Amino acid sequence: MKPQTKYKISGHETFPLRYTWLPKAVKIVKDNPKIFSDEDDAMVSLGVGKNMVRAIRFWSEAAGIIKFQGKNGFIVTEFGEALFGEDGLDPYLEDIQTLWLIHWKLSTQVSEPLFAWDYLLNQWQEPDLTRTAVLRFLQQKANTFDKKLSSVTLEQHFDTFLHTYFPTRGRKGHIQEDNLDCPLVELELIQKIGEREVDNASRKRELIYAFRREPKPEISDRLFAYCLHDFFIQRNPNETTLSFREISVGHVSPGQIFKLPEDDLRERLESLNSQTNKLFSYQESQSIQQVSKHSTLQETTLIKAIYDHEKVCS
């Protein structure tokens, strides 16, 4: 019997990710690997309250920036060091490639995937999203867990997911100031497309959202190559060939996580051979559509290629 996946649902303290948190986490963990073991000390070092300390730890772990090492505390990962270390490639999150990278990391955690990210990016089949419909869907999924979740916990978790990608608005429709600091809003992955009545009896209305399912030229070929390589290594370590369908709609595949239409995805795959120095090749005929991975590279090599604007070396 397959063991039940352990999802991460709480820990963000209802705070979406903020611009300064990941670089700050890298710095304080390098200075003191056990900093998050003493929340009072972390409050002083970070200059924030206890709930925000917990949120910084949550997002830093979820984004693969730091990793817990038991009694030794935390370490900064290769990914975290490459982006936010002393010679970091984008220490201030100024490049939209970095934001897409963080989105990829948040959405593809292997050991403890984020609940709303995992289900909504991979299993939500409807053309739009409303709070009522999504909460009903998440509750149905949560009911299969050994540990039951309260409706309040699910509501807070979904709201945190939503406002990671869509700005919080006040009663008059103005964007609230505390949400301007959430970097992934810039991706416009979730968009408002209208509103509707929740039910006829109450006449309450709710917003309708949708994932932006269109070509995304801001995702470079080098970034796509990094994510495809990561998809092979993390999810299909024993495979050297994957079908177009697996890369398009497979669980935590690049097509699913980035919401890429098939035509855009196919164009990207067709350019892999020239863009990646034969790290990948794409084969398409009437009977077969597949991508082959011909070698395995260090993560930092692939990350540097994104920012150096060079072909990925094999």
pLDDT for position 171: 46
Give the Cα separation of 40 and 38 in Å (integer). Answer: 6
Domains (range + CATH), the chain: 21-92 (1.10.10.10), 117-211 (no CATH), 221-308 (1.10.10.10)
Confidence (pLDDT) at 2: 56
CA atoms within 13 A on the CB side of 113: 18
Closest Cα to residue 253, out of 266, 237, 236? 236
Please name the residues in contact with 30: beta carbons below 8 A apart, sequence gap of 6 or more: 76, 85
Q: Which parts of the chain register pLDDT below 70?
A: 1-3, 169-180, 200, 309-314
Give CA–CA dist 178/224, Å, rounded.
Answer: 31
pLDDT digit string (tens) for 249-262?
Answer: 999 999 999 999 99
Predicted pLDDT at 310 = 56
How long, in residues, is the chain?
314
Taking the C-alpha atoms of residue 278 and residue 269, their distance in angstroms, rounded to an integer, is 12
